[in-house]
């Protein structure tokens, strides 16, 4: 299960009912955060999610609205007696920037590990995630991120039998374990087919449209993209400040053939993003305005790799549908006299 929460959707400054843009995911007991602006920990708390499992924080860039909330979050983690290490990922200068912010959080009971991105495109594997950082086009060094939960190849009982692998080792091998017994080494590759497409999420903000976004977002299940301006007449302003309009984000989503797009990082002047969505959906129909606390839950069968339900799967909508369906069946049975 991968849980995805758009913690905040604002750009530049937090507003009432709109926190600064940040994304949080949960997978296998590990949580990952992308960006941490002013008030991000308040937004997480409002959602009812926990800081404790956060063990990776990725930064797109070092403008204040994307990193200024870090010292407070570190202090909160420290006050909760956290001892597990925390890994920070970000563009060149990460350690220098974080240490400067830590003037007000100098002593922490846990280790901070730094991974600085040094290439235009760099792959990092952490806690079950395959993270691809890719350079985008902002007025400072800035990166987008693609998160993937990879699916292993399909287990083949026939191959296991052909190689006389004892039945008791099938399950551990299927889970990726290597077994050594009676002088023989059994590896997962002996019984698993080629890797299959897993869950793919792409997040990018504070940028102009780029080929790197198009390439890394290709066929993503969810594409979260900045939409600083909804108005088409602000296209020149978007180009000048190196941001995007809703229309430009929709073109990227269409050309990358993503399944679904959420818009985020709204200008403080953009009060009602919904008003511009009709024009966006003319370009890419499966587009939605991001909202603070918007959550999707992705369920994938561990053996077959199949995703349960439509992707993404929203629990609240599913629950509402179930309740309405149950009421409809109950009314039908009452009218039909099934209880008489």
- pLDDT tens-place string over residues 254-300: 999 999 999 999 999 999 999 999 999 999 999 999 999 999 887 75
The SS3 of residue 154 is coil
Contact 238, 201 (CB under 8 A): no
Q: In whole numbers, what is the pLDDT of the chain averaged over residues?
A: 89
Contact 88, 59 (CB under 8 A): yes
| Architecture of the domain made up of 2-151+199-308 | 4-Layer Sandwich (3.60)
Let me know if 310 is a catalytic residue.
no
User: Residues of 45-81 as b/e, b for ≥16 C-beta within 10 angstroms?
Assistant: eebebebebbbbbbbbbbbebbbbbbbbbbbbbeeee
Lowest mean pLDDT among 46-55, 94-103, 179-188, 326-335: 326-335
Outline which parts of the chain fall under CATH 3.60.15.10: 2-151+199-308
Given this model, what pLDDT does residue 315 score? 47
- pLDDT tens-place string over residues 145-192: 999 998 778 888 888 899 989 999 888 888 888 999 888 999 988 988
- pLDDT tens-place string over residues 11-59: 999 999 999 999 999 998 899 999 999 999 999 999 999 998 999 999 9
The SS3 of residue 18 is strand
Given this model, what pLDDT does residue 305 score? 37
Residue recorded with tokens 């900045």: 226
Q: List the one residue out of 250, 151, 142, 134 whose CA is nearest residue 202.
A: 134
Higher pLDDT, 315 or 125: 125
Residue 50: left if φ>0, alpha if ψ -120 to 50, beta else—which one? beta
Written as six digits, the tokens of 292 are: 């603070």
List the catalytic residue out of 55, 65, 206, 221. 65
Task: State mean pLDDT over 65-87.
Answer: 95
In this prediction, residue 333 has a pLDDT band, given cuts at 50, 70 and 90, of low
Given this model, what pLDDT does residue 6 score? 96
Written as six digits, the tokens of 303 are: 């053996």
Given this model, what pLDDT does residue 302 score? 42
Provide, rounded to the nearest whole percent, the portion of the chain with pLDDT above 90.
73
């Amino acid at each position: 299960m991968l849980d995805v929460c758009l913690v905040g959707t604002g750009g530049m400054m937090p507003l009432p009912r709109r926190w600064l843009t940040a994304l949080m995911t949960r997978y296998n007991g590990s949580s990952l955060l992308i960006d941490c602006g002013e008030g991000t920990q308040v937004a997480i708390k409002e959602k009812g999610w926990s800081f404790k499992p956060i063990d990776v924080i990725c930064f797109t860039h070092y403008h204040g609205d994307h990193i200024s909330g870090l010292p407070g979050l570190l202090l909160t983690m420290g006050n909760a007696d956290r001892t597990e290490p925390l890994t920070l990922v970000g563009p060149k200068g990460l350690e220098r920037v974080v240490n400067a912010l830590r003037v007000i959080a100098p002593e922490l009971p846990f280790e901070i590990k730094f991974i600085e991105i040094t290439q235009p495109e760099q792959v990092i594997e952490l806690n079950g995630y395959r993270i691809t950082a890719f350079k985008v086009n902002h007025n400072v060094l800035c990166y987008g991120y693609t998160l993937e939960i990879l699916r292993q190849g399909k287990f083949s009982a026939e191959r296991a039998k052909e190689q006389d692998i004892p039945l008791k080792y099938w399950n551990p091998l299927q889970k990726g374990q290597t077994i050594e017994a009676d002088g023989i080494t059994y590896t997962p590759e002996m019984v698993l087919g080629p890797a299959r497409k897993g869950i793919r999420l792409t997040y990018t903000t504070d940028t102009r449209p780029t080929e790197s976004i198009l390439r890394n977002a290709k066929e993503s299940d969810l594409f979260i993209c900045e939409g600083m301006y909804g108005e088409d007449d602000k296209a020149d302003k978007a180009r000048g400040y190196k941001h995007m309009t809703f229309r430009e984000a929709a073109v990227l989503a269409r050309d990358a053939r993503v399944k679904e797009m959420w818009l985020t990082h709204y200008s403080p002047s953009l009060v009602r993003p919904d008003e511009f969505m009709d024009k966006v959906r003319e370009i890419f129909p499966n587009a939605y305005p991001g909202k603070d606390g918007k959550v999707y839950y992705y369920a994938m069968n561990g053996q077959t790799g199949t995703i349960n339900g439509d992707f993404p799967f929203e629990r609240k909508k599913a629950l509402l549908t179930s309740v309405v369906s149950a009421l409809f069946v109950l009314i039908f049975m009452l009218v039909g006299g099934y209880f008489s």
